[in-house]
Amino acid sequence: MIPKTFKEVIDLGDGREISIETGKLAKQAHGSVVVQSGKCMLLCTVVSNYQQSDVDFLPLTVDYREKFAAAGRYPGGFFKREARPSDGEVLTMRLVDRVLRPLFPKDYHAETQVMIQLMSHDEEVMPDAMAGLAASAAIQLSDFPFECPISEVRVGRVNGEFIINPSRKQLEESDIDMVIGASADSVMMVEGEMNEISEEEMTEAIKAAHEAIKVQCAAQVRLAEAFGKKATREYEPEREDADLEKKVRDLVYDKVYEVAKAGSAKHERSAAFQQIKEEVTATFSEEELEDFGSLVSKYFYKAEKAAVRDLTLNEGLRLDGRKTTEIRPIWCEVDYLPSVHGSSIFTRGETQALATVTLGTSREANQIDMPSFEGEEKFYLHYNFPPFSTGEARPIRGTSRREVGHGNLAQRALKGMVPADCPYTVRVVSEVLESNGSSSMATVCAGTMALMDAGVQLKKPVSGIAMGLISDGESGKYAVLSDILGDEDHLGDMDFKVTGTADGITACQMDIKVKGLSYEILVKALKQAREGRLHILEKLTDTIAEPREDVKEYAPKMVTTRIANEYIGALIGPGGKVIQELQKETNTTIVINEDPVTEEGIVEILGTGQEGINAVLAKIDSITFKPVVGNSYKVKVIKMLDFGAVVEYLDAPGNEVLLHVSELAWERTENVSDVVNMGDVFEVKYFGIDSRTKKEKVSRKALLEKPEGYKERAPRSDNKDRGSRDNNRGGRDNRNRDRRRD
């Protein structure tokens, strides 16, 4: 018997719907829902242990996986099963995690898992846009202590109209691709890319998305009420001691305020804060520390945060002595690494990124193989964040989710400025060598300069800046901070990163921690960010004003040409023999792709030497050479025969044709060598296919003047010849008849 199900339907306003259903699948989970739009179905389950973990944070795991069976496909690789998550899945996990995590109580430390699976795929639906809705809906059906329902939507804009959760096809025409996460009251997360839009346009897109999210949050509330809203579970809260908190604050606040006001460097400041903490700790006995030592640490950091925030709100000063709008000192350099295709260093304060660019053929494109999307990227960026960049020693366990997310943000910031006709596959790698605030934005700046250094013809240079916000809800005071430090990232109410050209925003990432942030403050913050971006952009263009006209001497040159489909096989040769030998002889890399529309062959030639590239082009010209009837061509004799000479077109080596003895000269020629010899070069006229021999016909004599008194020889009488042959044949036939009579 199929169990009773509960369902809510959300109208997207253009004929599309999203349904949320529960009661049929995964009933042992603490909450489970199936979210469906078209044929796309996501199953989300949530479970949280009833025992608190022995940690001082929420051990929340958000896992998003796309099952290949959902698209009727097999996983790639030797083992035909889903393995480690792809970068696309990791990015979706991060989008959901960043909205859910702040809504759990700060003292809730039970291990919690949110698992979202794509069970059925629809080409017209992008599943990642519904992952946040699925996660929140499942939590609403559980007994977790969770503040309020949230949702996430993607917003695009086509022909000036905002579209909620556009299809991939619609997104290709859109100048905005943003995912917004919010509750019914507050926007909490924004991430996306844009085509140089203004701050006001970005705000309007966020507003449109928020209106759709309000409808989705209301649907979750209705579903939970219909299903039967569970009482929130009880858990053991963190220990609190108001008297101890006041004591620690009194000991700490003024000292921290003075250190923060001194405007020192990161390590000097950290050492000073640590000394204050040790002094405070020393005021307690060993027995007291054993009893409530963890509370002392907790209240110390709370007082530290309050002091630093108050310094900024009261005096407009920051930890390193800057004013709120001030950017740290910047120095840049290009062409730092002698053997790479492009390189740059970008240093801003205590953050430094070294970027490299590598140029390749389409063979080096980044292949994306997900159930919801198959394709390739000809421009991609990788971001590495080693422990030494923050002066730490910690285990290295492969690429972290943070590295994937930061690299994706920088890639989205730059990719729109790479021309569509760029012949190369371009890989940018950012090595973060120092970090104290926004290494992802340093990556954007270093990436811009490295691309220009490599000779990639960027449409416009791109810069990026990380901004912060500190606000006091009671007094209404707030401060927008330009170019935030790592410490300011942790203690602020909003962390937002904005990238763009001089003409508009290309990408953004925001995490908003304060409720009910007004759009007026958001626009002000974005405009202050623009001022900072332009200041940084000026530093970049002072270092390298525009892309190099060509790639470097030791970097590969790329030439792309097209050939008719019928010649692809000839260029490749049997078993790849022709193309392999050609690559070896010319020291080039040759890649052939077929245009899916015209079915032409797109030939990419990559080589460091122009001579080698020219040799490949000459070979292609030779293979695809087609003489035109009536035109004259220079040829060279390469073989002597009794009945003519084999000649080769000089413009197309390897293309041979027979020059018959009768076409050598107007005079009768007894011996071919009387007129031409091996190696002779002369011109011939092309007549096309001879109707009699069905072979190509060329003539030398057609380009010579007829001798005086020249008389055409009378043609042979074909009728006479045929008659003779017929008479002979008749005689043989008569003899055969005579034999039969005998």
Q: What DSSP string runs through 79-123?
A: S-S--SPPHHHHHHHHHHHHHHGGGS-TT--EEEEEEEEEEE--T
Instruction: Name the more confident of 624 and 232.
Output: 232
Domain with CATH 2.40.50.140 in the chain: 631-703
Query: What pLDDT does residue 713 have?
Result: 63
Nearest to 534 by CA among 498, 507, 510: 498
- Amino acid residing at 678: M
81 pLDDT higher than 90: no
741 pLDDT higher than 50: no
- Over residues 589-613, the mean pLDDT reads 91
148-166 confidence digits (pLDDT tens): 999 999 999 999 999 999 9
473 pLDDT higher than 80: no
Nearest to 410 by CA among 427, 389, 393: 427
User: Is the domain 631-703 a CATH 2.40.50.140 member?
Assistant: yes
Domain with CATH 3.30.1370.10 in the chain: 557-624
730 pLDDT higher than 80: no
Helix H segments across 316-395?
none
- Rounded Cα distance between 704 and 666, Å, is 8
Query: What pLDDT does residue 14 have?
Result: 86
739 pLDDT higher than 70: no
Query: What pLDDT does residue 714 have?
Result: 57
- Rounded Cα distance between 658 and 128, Å, is 65
- Mean of per-residue pLDDT scores for the chain: 91
Under the banding of pLDDT at 50, 70 and 90, the label for residue 728 is very low
Under the banding of pLDDT at 50, 70 and 90, the label for residue 736 is very low
- CATH superfamily for 330-393+400-543 is GHMP Kinase, N-terminal domain (3.30.230.70)
Domain with CATH 1.10.10 in the chain: 242-315
Domain with CATH 3.30.230.70 in the chain: 6-227, 330-393+400-543
711 pLDDT higher than 90: no
242-315: CATH, from 3.40.50, 1.10.10, 1.10.246, 1.20.120: 1.10.10
Nearest to 657 by CA among 638, 671, 642, 673: 638
Nearest to 145 by CA among 187, 99, 112: 112
- CATH superfamily for 557-624 is K Homology domain, type 1 (3.30.1370.10)
- Over residues 7-29, the mean pLDDT reads 94
Under the banding of pLDDT at 50, 70 and 90, the label for residue 242 is very high
The secondary structure of 381-437 as a DSSP string is EEEE--GGGGT------SS-HHHHHHHHHHHHHHHTTS-TT--SEEEEEEEEEE-SS
734 pLDDT higher than 90: no
SS3 166: coil
738 pLDDT higher than 50: no
36 pLDDT higher than 60: yes
- Rounded Cα distance between 217 and 210, Å, is 10
Name the least confident of 206-210, 375-379, 591-595, 716-720.
Answer: 716-720
Percent of the chain beyond pLDDT 70? Answer: 96
Assigned architecture for domain 6-227:
2-Layer Sandwich (3.30)
- Rounded Cα distance between 413 and 445, Å, is 10
- Over residues 329-337, the mean pLDDT reads 96
Residue 489 marked in a binding site: yes
661-674 confidence digits (pLDDT tens): 989 988 888 899 98
Query: What pLDDT does residue 168 have?
Result: 93
Under the banding of pLDDT at 50, 70 and 90, the label for residue 701 is confident
Instruction: Name the more confident of 693 and 501.
Output: 501
740 pLDDT higher than 50: no
Name the least confident of 269-278, 403-412, 466-475, 708-717.
Answer: 708-717
Strands 40-52 and 110-120: antiparallel
* Maximum distance among all Cα pairs of the chain, rounded to whole angstroms: 143
- Over residues 487-495, the mean pLDDT reads 84
Distances (CA, A) of 72 to 77, 89, 126, 367, 633: 16, 18, 16, 19, 57
Query: What pLDDT does residue 348 have?
Result: 96
Under the banding of pLDDT at 50, 70 and 90, the label for residue 727 is very low
Under the banding of pLDDT at 50, 70 and 90, the label for residue 258 is very high
DSSP secondary-structure letter at 627? P
Name the least confident of 17-31, 285-299, 453-467, 699-713.
Answer: 699-713
Helix (H), strand (E) at residue 364? none
Sheet bearing 478-482, strands edge to edge: 161-164, 150-158, 176-183, 187-197, 504-512, 494-501, 463-471, 478-482
